[in-house]
Structures are given as structure tokens and as C-alpha cells.
């Protein structure tokens, strides 16, 4: 009987340990890789190319979208997938923009997008790395390596989301992508400079900050016949005290003082 109880309690102990340990082992670890969406308003792809050897002519693409899967614990397991709107090319000269988007150069009617998909991320320093990927431009795909500097990760109070910031540089030969017009007068080698921000993809959509559209005069009249405008503290997350003169009604025939403004006060910066 004594042996029976010892065996019985031993079985209960083992069963209890298994009941608590197995689910713990099976529970998935908290994710260290997070998806960030490229912020097109704060991302620019800039390029430089030699013009007859006299200068490096500069242009840029204004529209880029995509995703950065950033692994904070193992950066080498991160990835990048970016799409650039080729029609957003700009040299700040409309005639030249149209020429470069034409069939002799980018031919954006046939190839409206440029894509980059990473195949390897290699850390080279505490805040630097090489990102190698497939660049598809002008209908051709070639491997390209970008030298990337990690700038910052943290809460972006304007986007109201956790954000990442990177700077990157790289070089390509346009002839590798079938763009050979005016070689060698216009250089073959193109230097790339990229400034990018990305926001946590899981964050809720940002709502615009409230705008004060109906100023209401308050307080005693000033010597010039106006009253101070009270700005409620809830007008914006970064509200500051503002005093705006608002005219006070005066009897008919009396001289008017002050000025009337129909402008909208937007304290959101």
C-alpha cells in the first residue's frame, strides 16, 4: 500500500510538470521582427550623373512605397521590398523631365515602376550594413548593393507611430539596364543617395490634428478696440498660448480699429 501511494503521487507530480511545461515550450516567442511601411512623404531617392565631365547633374524620384521587415535582435534577418514610381522622376525642369521619361531613357510608359527586393543583409558596424538585392529598372533586373546607415528608431510624435530612419548610398551603371543614350557624354555611372523613413505597419491610421476654425473673442477690450482670442488647450497636442486681435463691434459711424482676418489658424506643425 505504501508503495502504491508513492507511485500514485509520483505520477501526479510528473503529470503536473508536463501540463505546465509543454504549453510553455509550445508557446511562440514574442516577435522580434516587425514590419514598417515606407513613408512616401519623407523618402527620396536621389541620383547624380556626370554631364560632360563639367558637373554631376542631380535628379530624384518623389514617390516610393514598400515594406521594411526589421529584426532588431538579428539585423541580418531583416528585408526590404520597395517600389518606386518611375513617373515621379524630376530634374526640376519640365522639358528635361519629359525627355528622361521618354523612350530613349526610362521609357516610363512601358516601365512605370522601379523595384528593389533585398536578398541579403550584412551588418558592417554598430549602425551600418550592406543590403544586397535585385534592382529592376527599365525592364531589366541586376544585383545591386547599397551601403546603409541606420539613423534612428523611436516614437515619431508627428506620425504617431514607431518609426525607423535610414540613409543609403550605392552605384549602378545605367548601361547595365539598357539605357545607353548619349554615352559617354552623359555618364554611365549613376550614384544613388537614399533618405528613407518608415512607420510601424501595425499602427492605426493617423488622424489630422484639430484645426481652430471659429475664433471667439474673450476677455476685456484692448485699448485698440480688439479683444484677445482664446485658443483652447485641446486645439493641438503642441498648443502654445496665442493672442490674435479680433475686432469688437462699434456703433454705426464710429471709426473701426483693428483688422479683420478670415484666415484659419493651424497650429499643427
| Secondary structure class of 259 (helix, strand, coil) | coil
d(CA 143, CA 124): 19
Contact 144, 116 (CB under 8 A): yes
Rg over alpha carbons for the chain, rounded to the nearest Å, is 30
Residue 145 binned pLDDT confidence (cut-offs 50, 70, 90):
very high
pTM of the model: 0.66
Alpha helices in the chain (DSSP H): 2-26, 94-100
Residue-averaged pLDDT of the chain: 77
CATH architecture of structural domain 33-200: Beta Barrel (2.40)
User: Domain locations in the chain?
Assistant: 33-200, 208-269
- Please state the rounded mean pLDDT for residues 148-156: 95
Bridge partners of 46, per DSSP, are 60, 193
Interval 195-246: pLDDT, tens: 999 999 987 654 333 333 444 444 455 554 544 444 444 444 444 444 444 4
d(CA 255, CA 228): 20
Interval 42-95: pLDDT, tens: 999 999 999 999 999 999 999 999 999 999 889 999 999 999 999 999 999 999
What does the DSSP assignment read for 13-30? Answer: HHHHHHHHHHHHHHSPPP
Window from 47-51, 121-125, 156-160 with minimum mean pLDDT: 156-160
Residue 32 binned pLDDT confidence (cut-offs 50, 70, 90):
confident
| Secondary structure class of 187 (helix, strand, coil) | strand
pLDDT of the residue at 205: 52
Amino acid at each position: 500500500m505504501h508503495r502504491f501511494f508513492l507511485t500514485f503521487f509520483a505520477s501526479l507530480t510528473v503529470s503536473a510538470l508536463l501540463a505546465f511545461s509543454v504549453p510553455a515550450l509550445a508557446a511562440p516567442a514574442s516577435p522580434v521582427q516587425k514590419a514598417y511601411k515606407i513613408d512616401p512623404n519623407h523618402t527620396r531617392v536621389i541620383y547624380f550623373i556626370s554631364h560632360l565631365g563639367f558637373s554631376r547633374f542631380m535628379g530624384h524620384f518623389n514617390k516610393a512605397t514598400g515594406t521594411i521587415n526589421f529584426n532588431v535582435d538579428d539585423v541580418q534577418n531583416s528585408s526590404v521590398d520597395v517600389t518606386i514610381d518611375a513617373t515621379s522622376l524630376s530634374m526640376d525642369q519640365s522639358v528635361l523631365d519629359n525627355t528622361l521619361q521618354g523612350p530613349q531613357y526610362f521609357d516610363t510608359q512601358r516601365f512605370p515602376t522601379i523595384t528593389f527586393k533585398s536578398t541579403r543583409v550584412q551588418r558592417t558596424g554598430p549602425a551600418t550594413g550592406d543590403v544586397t538585392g535585385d534592382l529592376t529598372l527599365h525592364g531589366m533586373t541586376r544585383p545591386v548593393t547599397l551601403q546603409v546607415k541606420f539613423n534612428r528608431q523611436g516614437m515619431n510624435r508627428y506620425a504617431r507611430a514607431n518609426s525607423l530612419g535610414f540613409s543609403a548610398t550605392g552605384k549602378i551603371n545605367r548601361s547595365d539596364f539598357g539605357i545607353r543614350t548619349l554615352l559617354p557624354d552623359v555618364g554611365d555611372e549613376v550614384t544613388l543617395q537614399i533618405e528613407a523613413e518608415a512607420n510601424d505597419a501595425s499602427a492605426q491610421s493617423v488622424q489630422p490634428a484639430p484645426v481652430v476654425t471659429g475664433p471667439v473673442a474673450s476677455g476685456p477690450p484692448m485699448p485698440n478696440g480688439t479683444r484677445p482670442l482664446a485658443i483652447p488647450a485641446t486645439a493641438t497636442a503642441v498648443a502654445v498660448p496665442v493672442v490674435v486681435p479680433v475686432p469688437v463691434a462699434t456703433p454705426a459711424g464710429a471709426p473701426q480699429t483693428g483688422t479683420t482676418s478670415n484666415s484659419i489658424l493651424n497650429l499643427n506643425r
